[in-house]
Homo-oligomer: A and B are copies of this chain.
Amino acid sequence: MRAQAKKTEAAEVVDTRTRIVRATALFLQRQGYEGTSIKRIGAEAGVTPGSVYHFFPGGKEQLAAEALRYGAEEFTELLRSGLDSTPDPADAVAACALLLADSLRESEWTDGCPVAAAALETIGASPEIQRASDESLQHWQNLLANKLTAGGIAEAAARALACTIISTMEGAELLCRVSATDQPLRTAAEHLAQLVRLQERSADPE
């Protein structure tokens, strides 16, 4: 059999550019932006710094912005998975928080949100990264809002709820990782479900 890539093979083969983006996304989740060097990214991807700059002439900032969007897509999948797990919006939101807790514990709290750390480090300093962060956070809120409106919650209330859900999940993730426990996200799951049910009742006073 040839050495070339077949999707069915166990060891996935990806092109160099993708390996670089993946390595960057991983380090952004673990150490943020400033703590991640092009040299280490290259080493993880199996290339030299020169190759990194070949694909990303805009340097570290361009690479980070693209890796941030790449990593954000993974969290989008987690959200989709949680939201599709049940038709009930409140239960679905709780499922998302619990999935996140499981995912974080799996990496022993090392691999977190690809947006949070990099965004906090570069606010007001890198418009490129800030824009990518903002778009990811907005996208997640849209996914949630769609589920909530589909469940009968009014548009405005759904958008507000979606915003608070992302806020709470982001903050609870911080507390989980710092304390190395899943309690904050499990508690958040409970409270967010209560909050969703509260808006359901407000909108539908039968």
On A, residues with C-beta under 8 Å from B are 30-35, 108-110, 112, 115-117, 119-121, 123-125, 130, 133-134, 137-138, 160-161, 163-164, 166-172, 174-175, 177-179, 183-184, 187-188, 190-191, 194-195, 198
Of chain B, the residue at the smallest CB distance from A174 is B170
Instruction: Given contact pairs A30-B124, A194-B198, enumerate 12 new A-B contacts (beta carbons under 8 Å).
Output: A31-B125, A34-B35, A116-B174, A119-B174, A119-B177, A123-B178, A137-B174, A137-B178, A160-B190, A164-B168, A164-B184, A167-B174
Q: Considering the chains assembled together, what is the distance between the CA atoms of A160 and B172 in angstroms? A: 12
Q: Which 5 A-B pairs give the minimum distances between C-beta atoms?
A: A171-B171, A170-B171, A34-B34, A167-B171, A117-B120
Q: Smallest distance from the beta carbon of A104 to chain B beta carbons, Å?
A: 10
* Interface class of chain A by DSSP: helix
Contacts of A125 in B (CB 8 A): 31
Which of A30, A163, A184 has the most chain B CB atoms inside 10 A of its CB? A163
Q: How far is the CA of A34 from the CA of B35 in the complex (A)?
A: 6
Kindly report which residue of chain B lies nearest to residue A133, judged by CB atoms.
Answer: B178
Distance to closest chain B CB from A205 (angstroms): 16
Q: Is the beta-carbon distance between B32 and A120 smaller than 8 angstroms? A: yes
Q: How far is the CA of A125 from the CA of B134 in the complex (A)?
A: 27
